[in-house]
Amino acid sequence: MAQKGRTTFKEDICKGCGLCVSVCPVKIIALEEIEINRKGYHPAGIKEMEKCIACQNCALICPDLVITVEKL
C-alpha cells in the first residue's frame, strides 16, 4: 500500500513554473487555470489530495520552497 500524504502550497508566492507538475508520479498537481495569485501567476495546487503518495518530488524540485509534504 502506498504512503499517504498531505501536500500544501504557499499559493501566494508560487510563480507557476510547473516543475512540480512535471515530477508528480500520480499526476495530481496542476496549475490553476483561472485564479491568479498576488504576484500575477497561476499557482500550482493538488487536484486529488487523496491520491497523494507523499513522495516529496514536488517539494524537492520547487525552487521557491512553496511546497510542504506531510506523511500521514
- What is the domain count for the chain? 1
Q: Could you tell me the residue range of the domain that residue 24 belongs to?
A: 5-71
Task: Give the model confidence (pLDDT) of 8-57 as tens digits.
Answer: 999 999 999 999 999 999 999 999 999 999 999 999 999 999 999 999 99
Non-local (6+) Cβ contacts of 22 within 8 A are 61
Which alpha helices (H) appear in the chain, and where do they start and end?
19-23, 57-61
The three-class DSSP label of residue 17 is coil
Specify the pTM. Answer: 0.90
Element (H, E) at 9: strand 5-9
CATH number at residue 58: 3.30.70.20
